[in-house]
């Protein structure tokens, strides 16, 4: 079907593919593998005009993420309390925002792109200050 339709595939990865957090080794390695697979498939199917793109997501506020962080000891309403080092825009990325980005990558407007890796993150990955993130958890 993809060959006939000259379709597009968007793989969802994580910013952790670029250098994972201490407790997320297996997760980070698997996300790195998806990124590499995206590049491979883009090269393999480019002559068939099938596009493969990859989105590395940063921290997204899903219902599950909210619940997990409460279990980890975050206070109720924690997303509104995040410091700028963790959430520079003041609001976490929402699933609806991710969906809009995916819709673009699947659209004809994105036809020039193949094998592209897009980071849907609020700050440059290299600019993150993990120590301050941990301080927030310990000191609020």
Domain ranges in the chain?
2-139
| Domain 2-139 CATH assignment equals 3.40.50.620 | no
* Whole-number pLDDT of residue 20: 72
Q: Alpha carbon 102 to chain centroid distance?
A: 11
DSSP H or E segment with residue 43: helix 25-45
DSSP 49: T
What backbone torsions phi and psi does residue 53 show, to the nearest 5 degrees? -125, 165
Smallest Cα–Cα separation from 104: which of 93, 94, 116?
A: 116
Residues 6+ apart with CB under 8 A from 97: 120
Question: Residue 85: helix, strand or coil by DSSP?
Answer: coil
> Pairing between strand 117-120 and 51-57?
parallel
* Whole-number pLDDT of residue 128: 54
Percent helix, strand and coil across the chain, each rounded to 5?
Answer: 50, 15, 35
Question: Residue 68: helix, strand or coil by DSSP?
Answer: helix
Full pLDDT tens readout for the chain, 140 residues: 888 989 999 999 999 898 877 888 999 999 999 999 999 999 999 999 999 999 999 999 999 999 999 999 999 999 999 887 778 888 899 999 999 999 999 999 999 999 999 999 876 655 555 555 555 556 65
* Whole-number pLDDT of residue 138: 61
Q: Are 117 and 67 in contact (CB under 8 A)?
A: no
């Amino acid at each position: 079907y993809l060959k006939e339709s000259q379709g597009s595939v968007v793989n969802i990865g994580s910013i952790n593919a670029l250098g994972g957090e201490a407790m997320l080794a297996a997760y980070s390695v698997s996300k790195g593998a998806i990124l590499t697979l995206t590049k491979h498939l883009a090269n393999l199917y480019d002559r068939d005009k099938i596009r493969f793109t990859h989105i590395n997501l940063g921290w997204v506020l899903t219902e599950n993420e909210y619940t997990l962080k409460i279990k980890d000891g975050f206070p109720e309403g924690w997303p509104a309390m995040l410091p700028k080092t963790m959430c520079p825009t003041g609001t976490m990325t929402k699933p609806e925002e991710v969906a809009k980005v995916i819709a673009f990558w699947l659209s004809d407007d994105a036809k020039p792109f193949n094998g592209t890796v897009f980071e849907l993150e609020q700050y440059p990955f290299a600019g993150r200050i993990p120590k301050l993130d941990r301080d927030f958890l310990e000191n609020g």
